Structure 1
Amino acid sequence: MQDMTAIARPALVCNSQSGSHDETLRETIAGHCRAAGAPLAATFALPEADLPDAAALTEAGIDALLVWTGDGTINAAAGKAAGWDGAILPLPGGTLNLLSKALHGDRPAEDILADALAGRGRRLHPPIVRCDAGDAYITIVAGPATRWAEVRETLRQDGLIEASQEAPEALSAMLDAPGVRIAPDGSGYQAVILTPTARGVRADGVLTESATDVLRHGLAWLGGDFRDGPSETITTAAMLTLESAQPIGLELDGEMAELGRRAKFWGDVSKVAFLSTA
């Protein structure tokens, strides 16, 4: 059962150096908590502060961690808080905010927080995908097409000229680099998208059969959401293994990683609870 949970002693995680950080909204979040009779007990402002672990949150009596950042930082905060008996409330504070949208719908942080403070948040442990490189709450993208993620980050941080210098290499990887396949005898793809579901890990293969497919994928990556590109469903399984002729590049909830030429992925549930207001 998904219990409705009231918040009594919240803490906030934010990133004061993020390009999307808004100090006015930060004050609004703190004001909402005070008005609800649940003032912030602590604020962990990255990068100066460290993400709190389960022991620190328990010692401080925190019952809800408001993580107002992007998907990658929410992922990291959940990993640090594993085993804590409180709950994480993701608030949209990044570029895509996919986890916040999954748990709350596409709504502003103030509305989500108002519902949670009023006790309209449901406590749940969402499904995740696990591998030796870490956990994913939204998706793992595996394969050479993840090179486009690096171009996207360059575009965000350094601008169009710098990103355009990296684009040819990403295009080459999309067209020519060895792909990945589900062992032992699956078809090859330039990327496989792994999504956690209640039934296990869903695998979708990225389609690059034509120049139009490749262009659509490049635009999807640069636009932020790779899932907008053409793909086909391969399978859903409790565990699967990917193979490639080269080390497998990964994007886990927006963060880059790499595994060897053969890597296992399996379904699990989050080791920390989340609050959903959807």
Structure 2
Amino acid sequence: MDAKTPCWLVVNPASGSNTVDSAESLKAALEQRGWEVARTLVFPDDGLPDPRELGAQGIAQVVIYTGDGSMGALINHLSGWSGSVLALPGGTMNLLPLRLHRSLDIEAILDVVAGGGAVARRLGCVRCDAGLALAGLLVGPGTAWSRVRESMRHFAVADIASETIAAIRETASGPYVTLPERSAARAEGYPLVELTPGEHGIQIDGYFAEAPGEFAEQAWALLRRRFREGPHDRLGLADAITLQSVDGGPLACLIDGEPAECPSPFRFTLEYCGVDLLATAHDC
């Protein structure tokens, strides 16, 4: 990414760690490193950059500093555009920035990119009925814990209690998710299946709990975004995988952390992102 080239900056002050002050600080940090920030869009009030307008104004780079939902919307909106996108962690979970940059903070990411150390990548993603997951997709009744996490983020004490009770009930009683194409998968299914896109395909992991205490442990791990610590089955890689709920009902999903729903059964497939993303990590 040429830091001398004009760029547009997209921010969302309502996202996670993103605020009006932090957005201004980011703009200053970009300009200090040689970027010319030709325009700042505040999403959702200003909408998303139009690829035709970007082309007409000679803009070949967009810097996005938002949460995962806004980030996914922008990247999907720019599919087919010939420019590149620099995604910076401005939300709560920051799933895509973690995939692109690992543990680097914003200052370090900008230093690497401005120094010519970033590469443009069309990342493998997971396509489902509800959209394109850029960083990962969770499927199953265990996704109910995301509602608890959201209530905690907004300090909604009354909602935390009711959502926790509902999440415990949903996670424990299903409907679980089965994988008919994987003989190593548990026949009774899983409360949570993770589909992680990567260089070699979609990695498939099924998470389970065999005792009431393990459900509590999984819940705590999910709330801390560290559910991978819990008991799980590694079910290999695939370019496509079919999941289905044991009762035939819709599949509850989290697409890059955003709630969604897919019909059951549904075949999730590997699909490549439609726009160049700048990466500073070697294994994204």
TM surpasses 0.5 = yes
Q: Which amino acid aligns with 2:221?
A: A
For the 8 Å contact 1:203–1:235, the answer to whether it is kept is yes
Residue 111 of structure 1: which of 93, 108, 112 is its match?
Answer: 108
For the 8 Å contact 1:189–1:207, the answer to whether it is kept is yes
Match of residue 227 from structure 1? 228
Q: Is residue 2:257 matched to residue 1:254?
A: yes
Q: CA deviation at 1:91?
A: 0.7
Distance (whole Å) between structure 2 residues aligned to residue 57 and residue 213 of structure 1: 51
After superposition, give the CA deviation of every residue in 1:188-211 in whole Å (9 maximum; x if it has no partner): 111110010222211100111122
Deviates most, 189-198 or 34-43: 34-43
For the 8 Å contact 2:16–2:92, the answer to whether it is kept is no
Distance (whole Å) between structure 2 residues aligned to residue 80 and residue 253 of structure 1: 16
Match of residue 195 from structure 1? 196
After superposition, give the CA deviation of every residue in 1:116-141 in whole Å (9 maximum; x if it has no partner): 22322211111111111111121110
Secondary structure of 2:236's aligned partner: strand
Q: Give structure 1 stretches of 5+ with no counterpart.
A: none
Secondary structure of 1:271's aligned partner: coil
Distance (whole Å) between structure 1 residues aligned to residue 228 and residue 158 of structure 2: 25
User: Matched residues, percent identical?
Assistant: 33
Match of residue 118 from structure 2? 121
Secondary structure of 1:129's aligned partner: strand
Q: Which amino acid aligns with 1:26?
A: A
Match of residue 83 from structure 2? 86
Q: Is residue 2:276 matched to residue 1:270?
A: no
Residue 162 of structure 1: which of 147, 152, 159 is its match?
Answer: 159
For the 8 Å contact 1:96–1:225, the answer to whether it is kept is no
Q: Give structure 2 stretches of 5+ with no counterpart.
A: none
TM-score of the superposed pair, with normalisation by structure 2: 0.90
Q: Which amino acid aligns with 2:200?
A: R
Aligned-pair RMSD on alpha carbons?
1.8
Secondary structure of 2:36's aligned partner: coil
Q: Which amino acid aligns with 1:116?
A: V
Match of residue 28 from structure 1? 25
Deviates most, 123-132 or 103-112: 103-112
After superposition, give the CA deviation of every residue in 1:1-53 in whole Å (9 maximum; x if it has no partner): xxxx3231211111123352233332222223333443111111012111224
Match of residue 149 from structure 2? 152
Q: CA deviation at 1:146?
A: 0.7
**Cα 1:221/1:60, change in 2 over 3 Å:** farther
- What is the aligned residue count? 274
TM-score of the superposed pair, with normalisation by structure 1: 0.92
Q: CA deviation at 1:114?
A: 2.7
